[in-house]
Structure 1
Amino acid sequence: MRIVIAGGSGFIGRKLTQFLLNKGHELVILTRKTKHSSGKVMYVKWLEEGAEPELEIKTANAFINLAGVSINDGRWTKKHQKQIYESRMEATDELLRIIKALPEKPSVLINASAIGIYPASNHQKYTEKSPKIANDFLGKTVSDWETKAKQVETLSTRAVMMRFGVVLGNEGGALPLMALPYKLFAGGTVGSGNQWVSWVHVTDVVRAIAFAIENTKIAGPVNVTAPAPVRMKDFGKTIASVLSRPHWLPVPTVAMKLALGQKSALVLEGQHVVPEVLLKQGFEFQYPTLRTALEDLFLK
């Protein structure tokens, strides 16, 4: 397949690029930086004045949209929130424009999303059919992002919204910061410890994206989380166990709010999310339990 990736230089994008290349696909990476194409990877400038990436893309079987300012970088000031929101809207608008300009439309658009669309809850279990949308910054951002991406369906292109959970990997995401206190022998429960962590290994993220491209029965929202979410206190205890470190120094809620501001909600609140669509379609997780995921990331 010939696959276009927006956001290919990020944490997930780098892993995905290598995975798809290993599968023999031909890739077009949309970028703002000048990079030299080589082998089966072509770099194409976009989101700059005068850029017409559709002229270089010409044809593609699938588009993957991972573009947008990271929610993990910096405090959630009003300025940063605006950048997070507008970067996603701008990138998706441009992808829609590019797809419209192509003589042959791709069969599918895989659009990144997040489980932050679901309200935080210690007792509710969410599947893709859950109607509730979180009434906060992340909920609105994700909802608007999905609504915009869904417009591609008017071009007879299948739209898949991959709602990522807490993606675990060594090169990015939340895990390095979450594991650091344990490596310094100072780890412990964050907040109440009862909040859910719906996590997923980055390898299973890229496998799920490839699975959704190939499986034409998959459309709409897809929860990309492992089938066994855990409470935050158990998440910490598992990190401690795998690293052979103590789990003893709690991090109070007030300390997290002072340190991270509004962004503290990412660790102090959570959702119990089930990957119902992937499981029903026969997707098999390589890392279905937290211990197997952490042992792969910490011990190999």
Structure 2
Amino acid sequence: MKIVIAGGSGFIGKKLTDVLLEKGHKIIILTRNDQRPSGNISYVKWLKEGTFPEREIKKADVFINLAGVSINNGRWNTSHQKQIYDSRMKGTDELVRVITALPEKPSVLINASAIGIYKASLTAKYTEDSEEKANNFLGKTVNDWENKAKEAEAHNVRAVLMRFGVVLGNEGGALPLMALPYKLFAGGTVGSGEQWVSWVHIKDVIRAITFAIEKDKVSGPVNVTAPSPVKMKEFGKTIGKVINRPHWLPVPPFAMKMVLGKKSSLVLEGQHVVPKVLMEEDFEFMFPSLQPALADLLKK
């Protein structure tokens, strides 16, 4: 297939591109910079004045949107929150515009999303059918982002909204920072330790995306989390066990708030999220439980 990717240079985008190339697909990366084609990868400029990607994209089968300023960088002050929000709205709006302009539409738009759309809770279990949404910055951002992506459905394009959990990988995401204190013999429970961590291995993220491309019945929200979320205390203890380091030095909530500001909610709060759609469609996780997932990543 011919697959267009926005956000192909990010943590997930790079891994996804490698896997899609191995499968024999042709990849078009949307980029702001001039880059030369290489093998089955070509580049098309976008999001700059005078760029019209639809003039260079012919008969694309799939659009994948991973573009947006990372929520992991910065302190979530007003300026950074605006960048996070605007980058997602602007990028998705442009993709929908390009799809609208194409005479031959792709069959599917795979759009990144996040479990931050669900309200933080110690007791609730969320599936894609859950209606209660978070009334905070991240909840509003994700909700608006999904609504923007769903505009592609007006053009008979299947829209899949991949609600990523805490993605575990060595090249990005939360794991390197979460594992660092343990490697320094200073690991311990973060916050109360009772908050849920709905995690997923990067390999299963990539496999879930390719699964959603191939499964015509999959549309709308898809929780991309392992079927066995754990509480933060267990998550930390498992890191320590895997790399043979102690779990002993607690990090109280006020310390996280001092260091991270508003962004501390990412580690001090959590949601118990169940991947109902993937499970009903018989998706097989390579890493359904935490210890083997961490061993695969941290022992390399």
Scaled by the length of structure 1, what TM-score is found? Answer: 0.99
The alpha carbon displacement at 1:55 in A equals 1.1
Counterpart of 2:40 in structure 1 is: 40
Tell me, yes or no, if structure 1 residue 230 matches structure 2 residue 236: no
Residues 70-120 of structure 1 deviation map (CA, whole Å, 9 limit, x = unaligned): 000010000000000000000001001111111110000000000000000
Q: How does 1:73-112 map to 2 (within 5 A)?
A: 73-112=73-112
Q: Distance in 1 between matches of 2:141 and 2:68?
A: 11
The 3-state SS of whatever aligns with 1:282 is coil
Give the number of aligned pairs: 300
Q: Does 1:288 align with 2:288?
A: yes
Q: Which residue of 2 aligns with 1:220?
A: 220
1:277 equivalent in structure 2: 277
The answer for the alignment partner of 2:27 in structure 1 is 27
Distance in 1 of aligned mates of 2:93 and 2:195: 35
Unaligned runs of 5+ in 2: none
Give, in whole Å, the separation in 1 of the partners of 2:268 and 2:13: 27
Runs of 4+ in 1 over 6 A off after TM superposition: none
Paired residue secondary structure (1:57): coil
What whole-Å deviation, never above 9, does each CA across 1:237-289 have from its counterpart, x for those lacking one?
00000010000000000000111010000000000000000010010001111
Partner of 1:2: 2
1:172 deviates by: 0.3
The DSSP-based 3-state class of the residue aligned with 1:17 is helix
Q: Tell me which moved more, 266-275 or 28-37.
A: 28-37
Unaligned runs of 5+ in 1: none
Question: Once the 2 structures are TM-superposed, how far is the Cα of residue 148 of structure 1 from its aligned partner?
Answer: 0.6
For residues 14 and 201 of structure 1, the distance between their equivalents in structure 2, rounded to whole angstroms, comes to: 15
Within a 5 Å distance, the mapping from 1:106-185 to structure 2 comes to 106-185=106-185
Q: How far apart, in 2, do the equivalents of 1:292 and 1:286 lie?
A: 9
What RMSD over aligned residues (CA atoms) do the two structures have, in Å?
0.5
Task: Trace 1:35-74 onto structure 2 (pairs within 5 A).
Answer: 35-74=35-74
Q: Distance in 2 between matches of 1:252 and 1:76?
A: 20
The 5 A counterparts of 1:228-267 are 228-267=228-267
What are the Cα deviations for residues 184-243 of structure 1, in whole angstroms up to 9, with x where unaligned? 000000000000000000110010000000000000000000000000000000000001
Give percent identity, aligned residues only: 71
Distance in 2, matches of 1:266 and 1:75, equals: 12
Question: What SS class does the counterpart of residue 56 from structure 2 fall into?
Answer: helix
Cα distance in 2, alignment partners of residues 96 and 104 from structure 1 = 13
Deviates more, 1:34-43 or 1:224-233: 34-43
Match of 1:188 in 2: 188
State the TM-score, normalizing by the size of structure 2. 0.99
Partner letter of residue 211 of structure 1? F
